[in-house]
Amino acid sequence: MNNDSTSRNDIWKWLALLIIAVFSIYVTFPVAEKLRFGLDLKGGTSFTLGIDQDKLRETIIAANPALTNETGAVEKKMADTLQGCDARIIQVVRRRVDGMGMNEPVIQGMKDHRLLVQLPGIDDATRAAAKKSLQSAAFLEFRLTHPRNDELVSKLMSGEACPEGYERGGSGFVRAANYNEVASRPGYAARLAGFHTPDPRYQFMLEKCGDASYRAAFVSRSAPARDAKGNPQPITGEYLTSASVERDAVGSLAISFSFNGKGAKLFSDVTRNYMAHGPKNPGDRGRQLAIILDDNLVSAPVIQSEIGAHGQITGHFTAAEAQELANNLNAGALPAPLKLLAESSVSPTVGEDAKRAGIIAAGLGFALVGLFMFIYYWYAGLVADIALFLDVALLPAALVFVANVLGVFAKDASMGATGSLALPVLTMPGIAGLVLTLGMAVDANVIIFERIREEFAAKVSTGTALKNGYGRAFTAILDSNITTIVTGIILFIVGTGPVRGFAITLTGGVIISMFTAVVVTRLVFDNTTKADSVKPFKMLNIFKKAPNFDFVKFGKPVFIAAAALCVITVGIFFARAFVKPASVLAVDLTGGTSLVYSVDQKAKPAVSDVRKVLDPFDNATIIQYQDGVGDSTLLVKTGYTAETAKDKGVTDVAGHVTKLLQDNFKDSKIQQVSVDEIGSMVGADLKKSGTWAVALSLCAILIYVAFRFEFGFGLGALVALAHDALISLGLFSLCGRQVSLLVVTALLTIIGYSVNDTIVVFDRIRETLRKDQKTDFKTLCNAALNACLSRTVITSITTFFAVIALFAFGDGSIFDFALTMLIGVVAGTFSSMFIATPVMMWFYKGRRPQFSKETAVEQQQ
């Protein structure tokens, strides 16, 4: 037993492990309450939304009654509003859903300005809140009240007149018993806006008071600000950069907001001009500034002083209302009001058989990795298996920690903001990702064990072998994992939705595996081995003799061949995507056709069986059962339309799919109920943010590697990453499969895997260069590559075990994920040896990089 096993340093490490374990249990149990499942595993609620054209027409008329004097003016204004509004609606709805904490929703555009929104596993209260939020336009506007507003309101209240649907009560008006019926009559909004107005430039509005009564105000119809030419400049929510719930000076709930530069200037000009004794208000009292949300007066505070970039919306809010308002303001305003057209419950897209297969794959992958490590490294492998088990047990704590830390940079309720203890949603792709993480998690252990093997070969004691092995492996582990963590951080900050979910899983898995590999395994060794023993650990060895392959010799021809293969395969992919996107891209990326069928509930086929029938036509079909829309219970979404399915000899997609289902499931009495064209689940905002996230991640890797090594090393890593992602994409497509969101996630995973492998090789090259000042650069690089070969092969094998399990038992999209990863693992292993290092060497043209000649300080663990 090591003499320092009870040192204070070790005690703190044990205590840290205990705290993390307790926290992980706390955020995980009870499992039924803490685990959140996605649509594919649990199902949820489906909303079909459409433009409320009646409400839109009333809003337009209420804002400008003069339009009714010109034939067709209102319709033209409506057409202008609806022109190109679908993309904006999808963007705003997605932000609202994210703000409600809904993970992995399905949001898909349909024809005629309709929208399909599916939310995973929500309760009745959340469903009601979601319906309300989705239908709220959240259009915020600031306008001035009439200069004699108080006088006009007092005159109105001194009489007996009441606005339609209201009666006297409290300190003003209260809604009459027949309010809902009256408010639903055509033209109500315009009639209310014109009630007792002093002139057409102003409209009548009602502000809700704390006693449920409403007080009147006369609000200008025009914008309060003007540009240099005197044109009206509306101050709306489009200038907001953020909104949050806070307490005002008297402790009431309020919405604090911040403007961007243009909004701040407009707001500053208005408040300065109309405060007491302002340039446009010579009186002793400031004008009232009406805060209007969705054509409802929220409040009309008196302007006390000039206000710039920050302001506050006060009113009579409950906590839930305030949070909903802040969420909607952050998401942005809808260009047109929405109404609920249909609501139904939807079942999981993954059948019970596929769930069982996923669980089997996870268990088999875990077992294969653990068994291999034990057989190959024996006792050290058993220690690695303990770390592997702890990776699983402690991962929930890591995910919550990462979500909260990243939430500081970009608040996202769906991923866990600051202070949240909610675990990220669990989906089948998430399970697949976690299985893969386990395969990669032992990489740090392999690096350490191979270093320990080298130390034992130098005839040192166990204590010295452990100290030097961990110390010399630490730099490679740190650099390789930091590049992955930096990638995850950038993906979270710049990305959104699924990209952020992937970033949390990636970063959390890396952090916890590094902790268990570097800290926990060292604690186990220190407490179970004798420091003065000279007997080496029993380990197998792939290479009986030290390998001496000339990797550099084949660098140029291999690189040329790899580059040619990338260009050909990716070129074919993009050519096919340009001519016919549905042939290479799944429905979630291209849109396509949505079909709803009625099915005999007693004989409905399993999702996996339906998938097998439809795979020859479209291997990326989305299949889902749903309830609540009469007899319509089976939803099928394919990426093909009548136009894009012609090469398959199909001119009627709906008819073809229907015949396939009816011929194969005759007892199910399948009948087509409806057919719709649908848009991509990935809107322009997601495509833009995702592209930026990947681009910035690659730049960050280049900068970090250039900083820690030199620019040539960063360039080599970047070229290798590009090779891995492109070759994986091209070969996957050539296999006849369609690229989906899950495949895109797999490509991101490949990037993280590949950069890890490459950095380990580069670290060994750097170490060798510092130790040997005489040997030529080419020989040193070959020596470093051969020294890392054993570790590279073992890591590839463990990752392969996890991927093979998914490949063998995975269903549908999981199969695609596994296939992409199989290609990517091979590509990543290949590129770290034959792409990254040769490119780096070509950059230096034979000269040695100018690293410090001092030997790196060994890290004491």
What band does 56 get if pLDDT is binned at 50, 70 and 90? confident
Give the Cα separation of 757 and 741 in Å (integer).
25
Cross-strand partners of 629: 632
Q: Write the DSSP assignment of 5-55 as a string of letters.
A: TTSHHHHHHHHHHHHHHHHHHHHH-SHHHH--B-HHHH-EEEEEEEE-HHH
Summarize pLDDT for 182-223 with one digit per residue, the tens.
988 888 888 999 999 988 899 999 988 866 789 999 999 988
Give the Cα separation of 40 and 623 in Å (integer).
10
Three-class DSSP labels, 801-816: HHHHHHHHHCCCHHHH
What token pair was written down for 11?
């005690």
What does the angle CA 511 – CA 478 – CA 756 come to, to the nearest 5 degrees? 80
The confidence score (pLDDT) of residue 7 equals: 65
Give the Cα separation of 285 and 281 in Å (integer).
8
The mean of the pLDDT values for the chain is: 84
Backbone angles phi, psi at 215, to 5 degrees: -110, 150
Task: Write b or e for each residue in 518-543: b if 16 or more Cβ atoms lie within 10 A of its Cβ, otherwise e.
Answer: bbbbbbbbbeebebeeeeebebeeee
Summarize pLDDT for 100-154 with one digit per residue, the tens.
767 668 888 888 888 888 888 777 788 888 888 888 877 888 999 999 999 999 9
Name the pairing type of β-strands 166-169 and 240-247: unpaired
Cβ atoms within 10 Å, residue 238: 14
Q: Write the DSSP assignment of 222-262 as a string of letters.
A: S-SEE-TTS-EE-EEGGGEEEEEEEE-TTS-EEEEEEE-HH
What band does 771 get if pLDDT is binned at 50, 70 and 90? confident
The confidence score (pLDDT) of residue 723 equals: 94
* Local structure of 347: helix, strand or coil: coil
User: Are the CB atoms for 593 and 641 separated by under 8 Å?
Assistant: yes
What token pair was written down for 155?
């005159």
Give the Cα separation of 802 and 798 in Å (integer).
7
Least confident interval from 57-61, 231-235, 816-820, 853-857 = 853-857
Summarize pLDDT for 490-502 with one digit per residue, the tens.
878 777 666 677 7
Give the Cα separation of 396 and 26 in Å (integer).
9
Q: For residue 206, give the nearest of 244, 147, 165 by alpha carbon.
A: 165
Whether the pLDDT of residue 541 is over 70: the answer is: yes
Helix axis angle, 379-409 to 443-457, nearest 10°:
140
Task: Write b or e for each residue in 708-733: b if 16 or more Cβ atoms lie within 10 A of its Cβ, otherwise e.
Answer: bbbbbbbbbbbbbbbbbbbbbbbbbb
What mean pLDDT comes out for the span 242-260?
83
CA-to-CA dists, residue 528 to 3, 531, 783, angstroms:
11, 10, 34
Give the Cα separation of 208 and 193 in Å (integer).
16
Q: Give the residue carrying structure tokens 């024996």.
A: 378
Summarize pLDDT for 387-409 with one digit per residue, the tens.
999 998 999 999 889 888 887 77
The confidence score (pLDDT) of residue 856 equals: 40
The pTM score is 0.75
What band does 96 get if pLDDT is binned at 50, 70 and 90? confident
Whether the pLDDT of residue 684 is over 80: the answer is: no
Q: For residue 445, give the nearest of 795, 79, 61, 820 by alpha carbon.
A: 795
* Single-letter amino acid, residue 25: I
Cβ atoms within 10 Å, residue 664: 15
What does the angle CA 262 – CA 267 – CA 273 come to, to the nearest 5 degrees? 130
Number of residues written out for the chain: 861
- DSSP letter (8 states) at residue 605: P
What band does 442 get if pLDDT is binned at 50, 70 and 90? confident
What mean pLDDT comes out for the span 680-709?
81
* Nearest-10 Cα torsion for 618, 621, 625, 628: -100
What mean pLDDT comes out for the span 601-608?
85
Summarize pLDDT for 311-322 with one digit per residue, the tens.
887 777 778 778
The confidence score (pLDDT) of residue 596 equals: 87
The confidence score (pLDDT) of residue 414 equals: 52
Whether the pLDDT of residue 663 is over 90: the answer is: yes
Cβ atoms within 10 Å, residue 453: 18
What band does 352 get if pLDDT is binned at 50, 70 and 90? low
Task: Write b or e for each residue in 86-124: b if 16 or more Cβ atoms lie within 10 A of its Cβ, otherwise e.
Answer: bebbbbbbbbbbbbbbbbbbbbbbbeebbbbbbbbbbee
Q: Give the chain's largest Cα–Cα span.
A: 104
The confidence score (pLDDT) of residue 212 equals: 74
